[in-house]
A = this chain, B = another copy of it.
Amino acid sequence: MRLSELSEKSGVKTATIKYYLREGLLRPGHRVSATQAEYDESHLRRLRLVRALIQVGRLPVATAREVLSHVDDESLGRTIRLGAALWSLPHGPDPDEEAPETAAAREEVERLLDRLGWATSQELGSLSPAHRALVSSVATLIRLGYPCDVEYLAEQARLMHQVAVQDLDMMETYPTEAEQVETAVASAVLYEPLLMSLRRMAQEEESARRYGI
């Protein structure tokens, strides 16, 4: 199909598709002549993924490019490929090492992982962006004076672990490695807002049960 057709099917303006091509988020179509190129279903699928990453996941274009490059990198083993893709996703700001709360937060996270028995996370420590993001979040909460004691966090973490188990189960239903990696990325980016919507609806539901409408 032509660029304009790709545009129609995806609902993305041709100018924007050209921009994505320029930015390397989309592979160039197969050049048929000097003035025309042919695009196929894989381009359409990738374009939709790009839109999802950028619009739903709010990824900056440069970050989306990096994530996609890992998704595409067939030379890596699955674990590395998965890790590379997920670790290049945005995770919020890094902890501010200047702030005194950061040290306290780090200790708190340490205690949390200890209690949970998450040995891997402890070993990876601050290598993992998720770990750093967690420290940063906890530091912010401490700074603002909101409680986040280990007991509470541990309970939430156990629930998140159950979520993660389901995520991985779902990922495993895909046969090929490429699809699994893509699913993992989609899961990280697209299911996040979905889960948060569910959380807020659950809050509304529970609030109505407790206090009435």
Contact = CB atoms under 8 A, between A and B. Distances in A.
Interface of A: 11, 45, 48-49, 52, 55-56, 58, 78-79, 82-83, 86, 91-93, 99, 118, 120-121, 124, 128, 130-131, 133-134, 137-138, 140-141, 143-148, 152-153, 155-157, 159-168, 170, 173, 183, 186, 188, 190-213
Contacts of A164: 199, 202-203, 205-206
Contacts of A131: 197, 201
A195 to B, nearest CB: 6
A133 B48 CA distance: 18
Given A137-B191, A146-B186, 5 more contacts: A48-B143, A124-B204, A137-B194, A140-B190, A157-B201
B200 A130 contact: yes
Contacts of A45: 144-145
**Protomer copies:** 2
B201 A52 contact: no
A204 B137 contact: no
Contacts of A120: 204-205, 208-209, 213
Q: 6 closest A-B pairs (Cβ-Cβ)?
A: A164-B202, A130-B200, A134-B197, A137-B194, A120-B208, A161-B202
B144 A186 contact: yes
Contact of A201 (B121, B162, B198): B121
Given A48-B144, A212-B79, A202 B86 contact: no
A209 to B, nearest CB: 8
Given A79-B211, A143-B48, A144-B49, A198 B156 contact: yes
A14 to B, nearest CB: 19
